Amino acid sequence: MQVAFAGLGNLGSGIAQCILKAGFDLAVWNRTFSKTSALVDRGARAAATAREAVAEAEVVVSCLMDDQSVIDAVQSPSGILAGMKPAAVHMCVTTISPRCAEQLEAIHARHGSSYVSAPVLGRPDAALSGQLASFLGGPAGAVERVTPVCNAYSSQVTRVSERPAAANCMKLALNYNIVSIIELIGESYVFAEKCGLPLEPLRDFYQQLAFAHPALRMYAEKLRARDFAGRGGFVMKGGLKDVRLMLQTAADHGAALEIGKIIEPKLKAAVDAGMQEQDWSAFYEITRRNAGLT
């Protein structure tokens, strides 16, 4: 199967490497062309434009930043739709809004191609090791065609619905649980520190008793150690984008995400304080600042 991949950031580069290792014929495109070199060294073909990358592809995978970057990559004169074969499938792994998924579904329907939302759960290290969880929404035939590609980078693939937007709602619900638990851990650590307590017993409670999932255990230690620097995580600006998508989608459906309303201004304050490229859990520093801790 010929696959095209657009977007080689922290997450995308790991996913693309897994697809290549699984034996697919892979063409890659990235806005910063130099980021294609590592994939080319492993056997991929680099394209100067998305249009060129997708020309022969049966499955086109996009891993970009947000709604606008995906729409731009699809509709640009040198973009995905301009070069995509009508019978091909576009699979977007980006965390986008359900509204954007519906827009992409309509765009592809007019073009004669198919669209599948396939957001992933997991950090860049999980992408590189093929341990992401994928949630698929789209027509049965299109989902069947993209599933072998998903299997290359996922340890779990779940078909959510024939509606692409449903998969994006699922991803937002899962991310809401994670960011809310980060807030809970952060508040508890601040409470303990203000009371003069060591944080290690709380950390051990989260890691050994309360939270079995490795990601939550990791966040318990990240916050305790205040270790948020470096690449390889989920950056703050992406976290702010996701929480805003959660709140907007909840409002669209008449629901209230009250913890999210607490978290959003903290994420915004962290971005404004220059932490936009740090791990999203670094908004703990705003919780500390609000409590008078340094």
Give the active site residue among 21, 35, 85, 171: 171
Amino acid identity of 193?
A: E
DSSP of 55-119: TT-SEEEE--SSHHHHHHHHHSTTSHHHH--TT-EEEE-S---HHHHHHHHHHHHHHT-EEEE--
The pair of structure tokens assigned to 125 is 């290290």
Considering only CA atoms, which of 153, 168, 91, 159 is closest in space to residue 122? 153
**Is position 21 annotated as part of the catalytic site?**
no
CA–CA dist 43, 38 (Å, integer): 9
**Which of 253, 212, 7 has the alpha carbon at shortest distance from 120?**
7
* Rounded (to 5) percent helix, strand, coil in the chain: 55, 15, 30
Q: How far apart are CA 94 and CA 69, in angstroms?
A: 10
Please name which of 26, 48, 18, 240 lies closest in space to residue 130, comparing C-alpha atoms: 18
Say how far apart CA 75 and CA 287 lie, in whole Å: 41
Nearest CA among 176, 95, 174, 124 for reference residue 11: 124
Among candidates 237, 254, 236, 98, which has minimal Cα distance to 171?
98
Catalytic residue set: 171
